[in-house]
Structure 1
Amino acid sequence: MADRSFLTWPFFEDHHRALADGLEDWALANLAQIDHANADQSCRKLVAALGTAGWLQHSASPEGKLDVRSLCLIRETLARHDGLADFAFAMQGLGTGAISLFGSDAQKADWLPKTRAGEAISAFALTEPQSGSDVANSTMTAELDGEFYVLNGEKTWISNGGIADVYTVFARTGDAPGAKGLSAFVVPADTPGLTIADRLDTIAPHPLATLEFDNCRIPASALIGKSGQGFKIAMSVLDVFRATVGAAALGFARRALDEAVKRVTTRHVQGAPLADLQMVQGHIADMALDVDAAALLIYRAAWTKDSGAPRITREAAMAKLFATDHAQKIIDTAVQLHGGDGVRSGETVERLYREIRALRIYEGASDVQRVIIARQTIATLGAIA
């Protein structure tokens, strides 16, 4: 059982502690045997199960206010039990984030009841082949043609690509150059002209795809917010969900620490447990320190947003950067402490080793987070000086 003493920290309210307790019980009862060999089928089942149990109610908000602490607690707990379960929950939130925060009443009514019930799967289509973290360099177009927008272009590395029922798509409407020329749209997966060009395989299997849009016509009412607000919408959604990526990494790290402690207290060398060796104790100490430091950064960011901060760009970047990079170190140490068993296919720490790597890339790679933190820090301290 992972350490849960952090739930007494002042970042949380009683309803957060009740949420964590209830989800822990549900995860223990439902996430023991997930088939990672068939990610598409498992994700569909997980979304349905999370919806039936009510957990997806937290993934989107018809009122436009997401409780970031709840999102982080859910992602941390699910990731500690199973990475694919965390993925299934997270993509429902990210995929509908723009609708929750900026969508019209009609858009919310059309999709949020379905995604929150697990009856429809959502996806966030932002990345393009030539523009990973450089969103302003997007080239996909959306041209207004009477009462319709016509989409042309390509999106790639789209989570839930190929199994989603609805995509939030960002495209250039020509309002201005660079970031100011992007807009956001709700695009049902069965819209003519939208096709799955390629399915992408990764070291930790997840549904991922490249999407092609060829004269894909959608009604003008599919526009989320106003024309030209796409960059603002995308950054606002990532501002909320970036801290939750750190929370997922924290869940992986806590599981790795649990597995490491179990290993060193039961594995004997020369008649004594590995845990008696001071060098091993030093590794465990470093792992525990990094877990708590990551948790403090994550829940500081979440609490700050929930307390009314309009943006938490710096706090979320710090949380994601530290939590993902240090989770990688924690898991690597856990693999090392397991010896040969650590790299055996099917072992928990081997699975964690594959699952953590992508979190240091998606929703802004680690070096991108460093740029964000540096710019925010220079701007803040420069203003003070």
Structure 2
Amino acid sequence: MPAFSLDPPQTAWCAELRTLAAERLRPLAEKGEPGHVNRALVAELGQLGLLERLFTSGAVDLCLMRESLAYACTEAETALALQGLGAHPVHAHGTPAQRDRWLPRVAEGTAIAAFALSEPAAGSDAAALELRAEAGLEEGPGEGLEEVPGEGLVTDPLAAESAPAAEPDGTARWRLTGEKCWISNAPEADFYTVFARTTPGAGARGVTAFLVPADRPGLGGTSLDMLSPHPIGALTFDAVPVTADDVLGEIDRGFRVAMGTLNLFRPSVGAFAVGMARAALDATLAHTAERDAFGGKLKDLQTVAHQVAEMALRTEAARLMVYAAATAYDEGAEDVPKRAAMAKLLATETAQYVVDQAVQLHGARALCRGHLLEHLYREVRAPRVYEGASEVQRGIIAKELYTGREAAQ
């Protein structure tokens, strides 16, 4: 695969995005309430046409947006990314009715989307999720129906071992019961892409994706107070009704929906991290060039100059890997899962290193509340955990390597 480089139009667009983020988006971000959805900021992203590009562009374009916005306004970057993460399954797997109802509003910034996969006991091991989609009917038991403990209402107790078929008229129904946790935009989203277990004991093969509007009866939630004050919460499902019309993709094939979404967004998480690393690096260059220390400028100390060089080296290496993975996704390469995992792993670990070193070189001033690096220090930690922790990415990489070796033999 050829080395990645920006062409002149892409370079100009990235510069424009950084300016827009600084001049139009950051003021709105600063007015937002920490820990809550900033609808004014999301609406401005829609007004600028950036949310529409989530559905009309490829992975490289997504990475360019996330890196550029992250450089100047991490809140705007996160708001855009969460809209894409929550709505992409609808774009990729939704029915015409689902897409027509929700995607125009997501693009306008008038509907907030959320991706609900993680659970209190199923974070890194996403295939172990326990939110139950129990077969049943919206109305009470009718003639010939029998209650099966833990499985809902079925006409035949033996049928409890498999999920109901999705009928063309959408009459097949489930009740969602359980919890989700660490869900971005919860509990304030307008709809959720929810992954629930339709076949008990089947692991990843027994999960179905549902589009669940926030106003469904039995759906509740609470906000969580996190290190970086993004809108993140927990959801509770108390027999929330869903029908075949709410299914995204195929029954019992929802894990494919989840992994397909993550394969697209993992490189762009890396782009977010690279944007933060570049912001920290530029701040460090400016500080060390101007700061007087030991009879000269801080940059004149070899140990400082070498540290800055190391920060730049790692940032550029991570950036190249991110865009190589994004290009592979856009070209339909076979090794996308491996490349996506590598890109997210290297970029997020690199950003943590670069921001930490930037704080060290700035000294105590970087620890003051409101300083750019204090802000980045809180922001940079979470990407090493969400959408697959670093340890999960290493597992994916190893699995793909051994699978490739076996296929080649």
Letter in 1 for 2:188: I
Give secondary structure in 2 for the equivalent of 1:39. Answer: coil
**Partner residue of 1:68 out of 59, 62, 66:** 59
How far the C-alpha of 1:15 sits from its partner, in A, is 5.5
**Partner residue of 2:48 out of 43, 53, 56:** 53
Residues 59-92 of structure 1: per-residue CA shift (max 9 Å, x gap): 235xxxx500111111111111122111100000
Query: C-alpha separation between the residues in 1 aligned to 2:12 and 2:245?
Result: 39
**Partner residue of 2:115 out of 121, 124, 145:** 124
Match of 1:136 in 2: 127
After TM superposition, the score normalised by the length of structure 2 is 0.87
Query: C-alpha separation between the residues in 2 aligned to 1:117 and 1:37?
Result: 19
More deviation, 78-87/303-312: 303-312
Computed over aligned residues only, the root mean square deviation of the Cα atoms, in angstroms, reads: 1.9
- Percent identity for Structure 1 against Structure 2: 43
Query: C-alpha separation between the residues in 2 aligned to 1:12 and 1:367?
Result: 31
1:208 equivalenced with 2:232 (yes/no):
yes
**Partner residue of 1:160 out of 166, 179, 185:** 185
Give secondary structure in 2 for the equivalent of 1:204. Answer: coil
Give secondary structure in 2 for the equivalent of 1:253. Answer: helix
1:36–1:205 CA contact under 8 A, matched in 2: no
Cα gap change, 1:10/1:360 in structure 2, threshold over 3 Å: closer, same or farther?
closer
**Partner residue of 1:183 out of 186, 205, 208:** 208
How far the C-alpha of 1:268 sits from its partner, in A, is 0.4
Query: C-alpha separation between the residues in 1 aligned to 2:64 and 2:5?
Result: 12
Letter in 1 for 2:212: V
Match of 1:38 in 2: 33
Cα gap change, 1:311/1:270 in structure 2, threshold over 3 Å: closer, same or farther?
closer
2:37–2:185 CA contact under 8 A, matched in 1: no
Query: C-alpha separation between the residues in 2 aligned to 1:315 and 1:112?
Result: 28
Query: C-alpha separation between the residues in 2 aligned to 1:176 and 1:21?
Result: 50
1:256 equivalenced with 2:280 (yes/no):
yes
2:22–2:73 CA contact under 8 A, matched in 1: no
Residues 316-351 of structure 1: per-residue CA shift (max 9 Å, x gap): 100000000011110011000111112111111111
Query: C-alpha separation between the residues in 1 aligned to 2:326 and 2:223?
Result: 33
Please give the residue correspondences for 1:286-325 in structure 2 after superposition, counting only pairs within 5 Å.
286-309=310-333, 312-325=336-349
Letter in 2 for 1:54: G
1:103 equivalenced with 2:94 (yes/no):
yes
Cα gap change, 1:127/1:41 in structure 2, threshold over 3 Å: closer, same or farther?
closer
1:336 equivalenced with 2:331 (yes/no):
no
Query: C-alpha separation between the residues in 2 aligned to 1:116 and 1:310?
Result: 30
More deviation, 19-28/156-165: 19-28
Residues 14-38 of structure 1: per-residue CA shift (max 9 Å, x gap): 6644532332231132134332771
How far the C-alpha of 1:175 sits from its partner, in A, is 7.4
Please give the residue correspondences for 1:21-32 in structure 2 after superposition, counting only pairs within 5 Å.
21-32=15-26
Match of 1:115 in 2: 106
Cα gap change, 1:209/1:381 in structure 2, threshold over 3 Å: closer, same or farther?
same
1:68–1:305 CA contact under 8 A, matched in 2: yes
Query: C-alpha separation between the residues in 1 aligned to 2:19 and 2:76?
Result: 15
Query: C-alpha separation between the residues in 2 aligned to 1:328 and 1:10?
Result: 23
2:267–2:340 CA contact under 8 A, matched in 1: yes
1:86 equivalenced with 2:60 (yes/no):
no
Give secondary structure in 2 for the equivalent of 1:169. Answer: strand
After TM superposition, the score normalised by the length of structure 1 is 0.92
Query: C-alpha separation between the residues in 2 aligned to 1:343 and 1:21?
Result: 29
Query: C-alpha separation between the residues in 2 aligned to 1:42 and 1:180?
Result: 33
How far the C-alpha of 1:41 sits from its partner, in A, is 5.4
| Gapped regions of structure 1 (runs ≥ 5) | 1-8
List, as ranges, runs of 4+ consecutive aligned residues in structure 1 with deviation greater than 4 Å.
Answer: 9-15
Give secondary structure in 1 for the equivalent of 2:55. Answer: coil
1:76–1:249 CA contact under 8 A, matched in 2: yes
Query: C-alpha separation between the residues in 2 aligned to 1:300 and 1:342?
Result: 33
